[in-house]
Amino acid sequence: MSSCRVGLRLAACSLNISEARKKYIVENIAKAALLERNGQRHPEVSVLNIFSDPEYNRSVITIAASIEEIGLAENLVLSIPGCSVFLFGEADLPEKRPLVQRRKQLGWFTRRDFSALKPDLGAAPARRCGLTGIGASPYVMNCNVTIDSQDLALGKEIASAIRGSNVNGLKGVQTMAFPHEGKIEIACNVESFEDQEVTETSEGSQYMAYSVLGDHFYYVSPHYIEAQVKKLASDRGIGTIGRALVGFTPQECKSCAEYAIRESIGEFWKTRGGVFM
């Protein structure tokens, strides 16, 4: 995204880490994003949000900064011995393979030993550091809808029905179904895309629109995703419990980032009302 209000070209980073039960660790990682290599506070970086899920032991940290300050892949490889990185999306040039494809290639959810893999950057994967995925896209957010059922097979049916790779699915939406807190959660990665044919964009429509440096992008509205999941669940005789948006829509992210950086609020997530949402 670009912001003339603060005179910067801004980028957002969604950092996923395998820790949610030890709050001090999550916060220390978030605070580390605010520091330059000399240990001084960086004025053009802000942590906008921290979302933690203790059941999955996973946190998502949303960081905003001037685009010149975000060089995650190179910084990880240079500063952490043994770090191994695979790339996806716009970061995976020239192939631009999506995250789903890279995960399948790597055996992300089934493989127990990654040592034989050749990473895109860094050393061969070691048990201590594991394997880190880094990607880029115009914008991606997470929208999760919980159905009132414990039937994982049914959840997978619904996830498949709205998946963007299917003929009648929702464009830019990647989905999986997981057991979560005694129910089934339809977890959606919602990616932005360019499409000359999309014209209808309003709060109640399927698509929402925004612009970056004159280029127009679209994404499926979280309200529409929830409505589709609710309909598919209802067709199968069950209801939905609620929707969780992890982080921000593109417009919300831009507004929060502009304000936080203009006012030099590094720990913006505290201003928003707490870490665990």
Give the tens place of pLDDT for each residue, 80-89: 777 888 999 9
pLDDT for 130 equals 78
pLDDT (mean) for 169-177: 95
Higher pLDDT, 270 or 7: 270
Topology of domain 140-247, CATH: Alpha-Beta Plaits (3.30.70)
**Torsion-angle region of 158 (φ positive above 0: left; ψ -120 to 50: alpha; else: beta):** alpha
Size of the chain, expressed as the number of residues it contains: 277
> Which residue do the tokens 């043994």 mark?
82
Contact 55, 2 (CB under 8 A): no
Burial class (CB in 10 A: 0-12, 13-18, 19+), 180: middle
pLDDT confidence band for 107 (50 / 70 / 90): confident
**Residue type present at position 131:** L
275 — pLDDT class (breaks 50, 70, 90): very low
Q: How confident is the model at residue 6 (pLDDT cuts 50, 70, 90)?
A: low
3-state DSSP call for residue 4? Answer: coil
Comparing 272 with 259, the larger pLDDT belongs to 259
Per residue in 34-84, pLDDT (tens digit) is 988 788 888 899 999 999 999 999 999 999 998 877 766 666 666 677 788
CATH 3.30.70.670 spans which residues of the chain?
140-247
- Pick the closest to residue 139 from 20, 276, 248, 274 (CA basis): 248
- What type of residue sits at position 24? Y
How far from 263 is each of 258, 259, 267, 268, 271, CA to CA, in Å? 8, 6, 11, 10, 12
State the CB neighbour count (10 A cutoff) for residue 219. Answer: 29
Asked if residues 188 and 164 have their Cβ atoms less than 8 Å apart, the reply is no
- The pLDDT of residue 89 is 93
Q: What integer pLDDT is reported at residue 178 of this predicted model?
A: 94
Written as one string, the DSSP assignment of 181-238 is TTEEEEEEEEE-B--TT---BSTTSSEEEEEETTEEEEEE-HHHHHHHHHHHHHHTT-
Question: What are the residues whose beta carbons fall under 8 Å from the beta carbon of 209, sequence distance 6 or more?
Answer: 198, 201, 216, 217, 218
Segment holding 140, helix H or strand E: strand 140-147
Interval 54-63: pLDDT, tens: 999 999 999 9
- Average pLDDT of the segment spanning 9-21: 91
Q: What is the rounded average pLDDT for all residues in the chain?
A: 87
User: 10-136: which CATH number, 3.30.990.10, 3.20.20.370, 3.90.580.10, 3.40.50.360?
Assistant: 3.30.990.10
Residues of the chain with CATH 3.30.990.10: 10-136
- Judge whether residue 276 has pLDDT over 50: no
Q: Is a pLDDT exceeding 70 seen at residue 202?
A: no
